[in-house]
């Protein structure tokens, strides 16, 4: 149990005891019932305020120290990533041998993946210790860039029908949610099948021709750690993350699916 939680329990017990004492003292020294009640409430509120302020101050200091430490660690992690990227870029310009260039390309690809993980870690930590900032961006451009990344897997074919759409929300969180939806569509679809992504008006639609889900599976699809098909890789948290993001950003999500035919997911944007 956390130290602050223990203090809160002790403070609650103390608060109750002090309130009882106040009631007894009020009855002894104040004849009027309403005056006794008012006096009890005032003393209880004052005592509660003192305890709460003390506890919150300790918690605030703890959060501040954690945030400071986290920012320093993230900064230090970013330095070697940038150094590797700079040096591999310089090497690729000077090297002539195909074999060496391929090795440098592997380092560059790994660095890009490492930078992506860094961004995810940074986002997750910031979301826990502070409010994540929102920004205005073109959703069509974001989708096109993310699809380019998934195209590198050379797995499914993507068909895009995208209209320009500007949205104001948590960009990194949206990218993470979108990636989860595309990963799921790829995971539960044949390799040669088409994944269609449509952005029209304020609705983003992702459709696949995969294994689909029945009504029972649909009811549990947003449960954390639930997997309809346990033979597939994954932890069963992808759609739970998507739902959590959508709920916190005012985006409604609808899923329709037919067993053996595929799944369609619609995000009704803000």
Q: Within this chain, do residues 12 and 122 fall inside the same structural domain, yes or no?
A: yes
Task: Name the H helices within the chain.
Answer: 3-29, 33-94, 98-129, 139-151, 171-187, 215-220, 238-248
Instruction: Please answer whether residues 171 and 135 qualify as being in contact, where contact means their C-beta atoms are separated by less than 8 angstroms.
Output: yes
Residue 196's domain comprises: 135-268
The answer for residues whose C-beta is within 8 angstroms of residue 182's C-beta and 6 or more apart is 146, 147, 150, 195, 197, 206
For the segment 221-232, the average pLDDT, to the nearest whole number, is 66
What the block records as the tokens of 116 is: 């992506």
Domain end (from 96, 130, 164)? 130
Q: Within this chain, do residues 122 and 208 fall inside the same structural domain, yes or no?
A: no
Q: Within this chain, do residues 6 and 85 fall inside the same structural domain, yes or no?
A: yes
Average pLDDT over the chain, rounded to an integer:
77
Q: Within this chain, do residues 5 and 91 fall inside the same structural domain, yes or no?
A: yes
CA-to-CA distance for 268 and 206, rounded, in angstroms? 12
Residue 38 has a CB neighbour count (10 Å cut-off) of 13
Q: Within this chain, do residues 1 and 122 fall inside the same structural domain, yes or no?
A: yes
CA-to-CA distance for 25 and 27, rounded, in angstroms? 5
Comparing 94-103, 172-181, 244-253, the range with the smallest average pLDDT is 94-103
Residue 262 has a CB neighbour count (10 Å cut-off) of 22
Determine the 3-state secondary structure of 266 from DSSP: strand
CA-to-CA distance for 159 and 196, rounded, in angstroms? 5
| pLDDT tens readout for residues 180-219 | 899 889 989 998 899 999 999 899 999 999 999 998 888 8
Q: Is the model's pTM score more than 0.85?
A: no
Q: Judge residue 126's burial from the number of C-beta atoms within 10 Å of its C-beta, 0-12 exposed, 13-18 middle, 19 or more buried.
A: middle
Pick the most confident of 92-96, 228-232, 235-239, 246-250: 246-250
Going by pLDDT thresholds of 50, 70 and 90, the confidence category of residue 235 is very low
Q: Within this chain, do residues 105 and 9 fall inside the same structural domain, yes or no?
A: yes
**Residue 149 is part of a domain; what is its CATH number?**
3.30.565.10
Q: Within this chain, do residues 28 and 100 fall inside the same structural domain, yes or no?
A: yes
pLDDT number for residue 3: 47
What the block records as the tokens of 156 is: 């499914």
Residue with tokens 């195909």: 98
263: β partners: 257
Q: Within this chain, do residues 123 and 151 fall inside the same structural domain, yes or no?
A: no
| pLDDT tens readout for residues 68-122 | 666 666 666 666 777 777 788 888 888 888 888 888 888 887 777 777 777 777 7
Q: Within this chain, do residues 9 and 124 fall inside the same structural domain, yes or no?
A: yes
CA-to-CA distance for 77 and 58, rounded, in angstroms? 29
Domain end (from 75, 104, 130)? 130
158: β partners: 195
User: Quick check: 268 pLDDT over 60?
Assistant: yes
Domain end (from 70, 98, 130)? 130
Q: Within this chain, do residues 110 and 142 fall inside the same structural domain, yes or no?
A: no
Q: Within this chain, do residues 263 and 149 fall inside the same structural domain, yes or no?
A: yes
Question: For the chain, what percent of residues have pLDDT higher than 90?
Answer: 29
Q: Within this chain, do residues 38 and 104 fall inside the same structural domain, yes or no?
A: yes
Domain count, the chain: 2
């Amino acid at each position: 149990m956390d130290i602050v939680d223990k203090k809160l329990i002790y403070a609650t017990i103390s608060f109750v005891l002090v309130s009882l004492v106040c009631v007894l003292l009020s009855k002894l020294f104040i004849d009027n019932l309403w005056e006794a009640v008012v006096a009890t409430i005032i003393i209880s509120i004052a005592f509660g305020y003192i305890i709460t302020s003390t506890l919150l101050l300790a918690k605030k200091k703890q959060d501040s120290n954690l945030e400071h430490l986290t920012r320093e660690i993230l900064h230090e992690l970013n330095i070697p990533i940038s150094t590797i990227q700079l040096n591999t870029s310089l090497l690729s310009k000077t090297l002539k041998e195909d074999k060496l260039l391929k090795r440098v390309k592997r380092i560059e690809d790994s660095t890009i993946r490492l930078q992506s993980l860094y961004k995810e870690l940074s986002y997750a930590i910031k979301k826990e210790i502070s409010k994540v900032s929102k920004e205005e961006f073109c959703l069509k451009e974001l989708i096109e860039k993310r699809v380019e990344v998934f195209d590198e897997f050379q797995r499914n074919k993507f068909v895009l029908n995208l209209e320009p759409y500007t949205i104001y929300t948590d960009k990194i969180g949206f990218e993470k949610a979108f990636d989860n939806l595309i990963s799921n569509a790829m995971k539960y679809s044949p390799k040669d099948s088409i994944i269609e992504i449509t952005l029209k008006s304020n609705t983003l639609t992702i459709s696949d021709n995969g294994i689909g889900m029945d009504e029972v599976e649909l009811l549990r699809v947003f449960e954390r750690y639930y997997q309809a098909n346990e033979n597939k890789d994954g932890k069963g948290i992808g759609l739970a993350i998507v739902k959590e993001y959508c709920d916190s950003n005012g985006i409604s999500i609808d899923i329709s699916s037919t067993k053996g035919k595929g799944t369609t997911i619609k995000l009704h944007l803000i």
